Amino acid sequence: GAPYPVFTRQEVGRHRSLAERVWVTYGHEVFDITDFVELHPGGKSKILLAAGGALEPFWAMYAVHSQEHVLQLLRAYKVGELSPEQQSQPTQGDPYAGDPPRHPALKVNSLKPFNAEPPAELLTETYLTPNQLFFKRNHLPVPAVAAASYRLQVEGPGGRVLELSLPELKRRFPKHEVTVTLQCAGNRRSEMSRVRQVKGLEWGVAAISTARWGGVRLRDVLAHAGYGEEEAAGEQHVCFEGLDKDLGGAAYGASIPFRTAMGRGADVLLAYEMNGEELPRDHGYPLRVVVPGVVGARNVKWLGRVSVSREESPSHWQQNDYKGFSPAVDWDTVDFTTAPAIQELPVQSAITAPAPGATVPPGELTVKGYAWSGGGRGVVRVDVSLDGGRTWRVAELTGEEQGPGRAWAWRLWQLTAPVPPDAAELDIVCKAVDASYNVQPDTVEPIWNLRGVLSNAWHRVRVTVAE
Ligand code: HEM
Ligand code: MTE
Ligand code: MO
């Protein structure tokens, strides 16, 4: 076909808004992506960050783009080429080059940013999840934080900002240790996406893990900054900002209600230890928030700043993500302002052994799994069925039994039962009951939601019986 017109980088740079049209470069090619801006799955504000310049540094940040179908989409918008003398690649360091090494057993859902879960069979081998196997959920590169120069900023009443070094935090406030289970809102999302497509990482059943966290209490630090327990509780929010920032300079952020942080007996920690070891880089070194009973997303890692506000965190992840919707809502009709941000999570359980599709011998079968509920509601019972839910047995619960209303960690469970003599296949099902007698829904269809969060239907594993 006819050769494309040739442009300089300066000419491309004049197209940075919808009004002037939006141009970008990739390699030596020039694209006018104006008509794609509103359609971008990653949002309008993100794609506009690259307006007038090269895509490479942004795509290095979000490796979801290194797929053929993305390049194909881009090709449709080609309008020109860069002038030959300007064709040298823009310098593009890999923002993930500084990420820490990881355990090879992890099942990786996304490499850049790094998101991975342990194999289900390993997850319930120990009550406390070993740090290396603990699920990892990062939205951005792991920031390199130097402990020596690290300062936590705490905004007090009237806007005064306290700066606390790590040794100061450890010296000034008593150390607390709490065993807490963290679960990502997207745990078990892959079961939801089998019903209908959802947006998000395809987590299996292991985006949940348990550790003994050590640190200082957030309420002690807020009290030191000048906040009282009754400080308009119920109206205020404690906002957290991470030190991980995207290329637009926006930090990962989230908030929790003030009373969650300050209530009597609140166990919210600023943790510097995980299972007796220094907090690993993937889990927020040197300091992270641990909010017992609350969705993973609010447990901000690499904590940079804490503040108290009338408003929830303005961050994308508080406002426009991690919310639940009706199955009737789709991406054309969703209005994120209409749903509350997820905080406490609903009751959950899953089978970790045997594995789906496994062959089990006749005779006796041992089924294993985990169960947990949000808000400190303990798990009071787990029911297991080998025949798809027609008949049930009660599993044996193991692990730490924590105080009423403060059951922050999971129970592991197991059941050994005879395999029905003439069964060729088993449809194993589990369901948990929490201290408020909340139960899990029996199927996933009625709780399907476009973001694939809060997936907590009865868990089913089908296996074959054979010698
Ligand atoms: C996702 C295209 C620019 C950030 C996607 C996806 C496509 C796409 C097709 C979905 C991929 C999939 O799930 O298989 C494009 C095109 C771009 C562009 C054609 C430029 C012409 C950008 C820029 C940024 C960005 C500049 C960041 C600054 C993201 C993010 C997602 C995404 C964060 C993931 C959304 C999610 O699933 O949560 N993009 N993109 N994109 N994009 Fe882009
Ligand atoms: N904090 C920061 N600063 N950046 C992040 O990307 N991810 C959140 C939360 N805290 C995140 C963060 C999400 S969605 C979850 S589920 C948990 O961290 C995961 O914690 P983990 O990686 O220690 O398992
Ligand atoms: Mo998460």
pLDDT mean over 257-262: 94
Residue nearest to atom 34 of ligand 1 (CA): 42
pLDDT mean over 265-294: 97
- Which domains, and CATH codes, for the chain? 6-86 (3.10.120.10), 107-338 (3.90.420.10), 348-465 (2.60.40.650)
When pLDDT is cut at 50, 70 and 90, the band that residue 143 belongs to is: very high
CA of 127 to the centre of ligand 1 (A): 38
Which of 78-87, 210-219, 250-259, 295-304 is predicted least confidently? Answer: 78-87
Which of 227-231, 405-409, 434-438 is predicted least confidently? Answer: 227-231
When pLDDT is cut at 50, 70 and 90, the band that residue 232 belongs to is: low
pLDDT higher than threshold 70 for residue 231: no
Give the residue, out of 12, 31, 39, 70, with the most ligand 1 atoms within 8 A of its beta carbon, to mutate for a pocket test: 70
Residue nearest to atom 13 of ligand 2 (CA): 297
Rounded Cα distance between 325 and 192, Å, is 13
Which of 31-40, 245-254, 357-366, 439-448 is predicted least confidently? Answer: 245-254
pLDDT mean over 246-270: 92
CA of 24 to the centre of ligand 1 (A): 14
| 462 included as an active-site residue | no
Task: State which ligand 2 atom lies nearest to the alpha carbon of 185.
Answer: 16
**Token code pair at residue 9:** 């980088």
- Ligand whose nearest atom lies closest to the CA of 30: 1
pLDDT higher than threshold 90 for residue 244: yes
Task: Check 62, 150, 184, 283 and give the catalytic one.
Answer: 184
Q: Write out pLDDT tens, residues 175-186.
A: 999 999 999 999
Q: Write out pLDDT tens, residues 308-332.
A: 999 999 999 999 999 999 999 999 9
Task: State which ligand 2 atom lies nearest to the alpha carbon of 136.
Answer: 22
CA of 418 to the centre of ligand 2 (A): 41
CA of 41 to the centre of ligand 1 (A): 6
- Lining ligand 1 with CB less than 6 A are 24, 33, 36, 40-42, 46-47, 49-50, 55, 58, 62, 64-65, 67, 70, 73-74, 199, 247
| Distant-in-sequence, close-in-space partners of 102: CB < 8 Å, separation ≥ 6 | 114, 116, 132, 136, 282
Q: Which pLDDT score is estimated for 300?
A: 98
Task: Check 26, 272, 285, 322 and give the catalytic one.
Answer: 322
Residue nearest to atom 17 of ligand 2 (CA): 296
Three-class secondary structure assignment of the chain? CCCCCEECHHHHCCCEECCCEEEEEECCEEEECHHHHHHCCCCHHHHHCCCCCECHHHHHHCHHHCCHHHHHHHHCCEEEEECHHHCCCCCCCCCCCCCCCCCCCCEEEECCCCEEECCHHHHCCCCCCCCCCCCEECCCCCCCCCHHHCEEEEECHHHCEEEEEHHHHHHHCCEEEEEEEEECCCCCHHHHHCCCCCCCCCCCCCCEEEEEEEEEEHHHHHHHHCCCCCCCCCCCEEEEEEEEECCCCCEEEEEEEHHHHHCCCCCCEEEEEECCEECCHHHCCCCEEECCCECHHHCCCCEEEEEEECCCCCCHHHHCCCECCCCCCCCCCCCHHHCCECCECCCEEEEEECCCCCEECCCEEEEEEEEECCCCCCEEEEEEECECCCCCEECEEECCCCCCCCCCCCEEEEEEEECCCCCCEEEEEEEEEECCCCECCCCCHHHCCCCCCCCCCCEEEEEEECC
For residue 301 and ligand 2, the question of a CB distance below 6 A is answered with yes
When pLDDT is cut at 50, 70 and 90, the band that residue 42 belongs to is: confident
- Ligand whose nearest atom lies closest to the CA of 46: 1
CA of 296 to the centre of ligand 3 (A): 5
Rounded Cα distance between 317 and 254, Å, is 7
Among residues 309, 291, 116, 293, the alpha carbon closest in space to that of 201 is found at: 116
Residue type, 298: R
| 65 included as an active-site residue | yes
- Ligand whose nearest atom lies closest to the CA of 71: 1
pLDDT higher than threshold 70 for residue 283: yes
